[in-house]
Amino acid sequence: MMKRAWMAVLGLLLAGFARADAPPPAGAPAPEFVLPDASGKVHRLADWRGQWLVLYFYPKDDTPGCTTEAISFRDRQSHLAALKAQVVGVSLDDGASHLAFAEKHRLTFPLLVDRDGTVARRYGALSDFGLFKFARRYTFLIDPGGRVAKAYLSVEASKHVDEVIADLRDLQK
């Protein structure tokens, strides 16, 4: 009986991975989104048309890796702005969690609320285990025309921002 229960749990876990969409590849149109930020202001992909967008998905507010990544983006924001790039974070946390996270770490870029994981799913960044869902640590560099210029599917939080800045410089040559 116990073996059957474990097999059912394993099946649910594997089914969660099977339902994820494939991440959009470089050159593909970036999937549209309409999401609120921590204060309820609605943002659309089209809001950043004409500039570079660093759209990063992360698992959970105020966890070690997510905090490292967010602070790195905050601290290098002037470098990204010089490259005409805006940073936007997305997770499945609610607005109150995003607000507390942003205030605690003085984040100056929007954190968007994707409670049901719809946008994370479109970008292939959703891990869905039924009752337990979270966004994978993926980043998409979106060009001014709204196309994916680069997809980062293996992100090391402490080094990632430097990688994005280097790629932005190369892509803008």
Residue 99 is a catalytic residue? no
Spell out the residues 6+ positions from residue 109 whose beta carbon is closer than 8 angstroms to its own. Answer: 73, 74, 77, 86, 87, 88, 89
- Give, to the nearest 10 degrees, the angle between helix 64-75 and helix 160-171: 40
Parallel, antiparallel, or unpaired for β 139-142 and 52-57? antiparallel
Cα distance from N-terminal residue to C-terminal residue, the chain: 62
CA distance 121 to 4: 30
Q: Which DSSP symbol is given to 7?
A: H
CA distance 30 to 152: 14
Q: What is the DSSP string of 67-80?
A: HHHHHHHHHTHHHH
Instruction: Given the residues 35, 55, 66, 168, select the one marked as catalytic.
Output: 66
Which residues are catalytic, by number?
A: 66
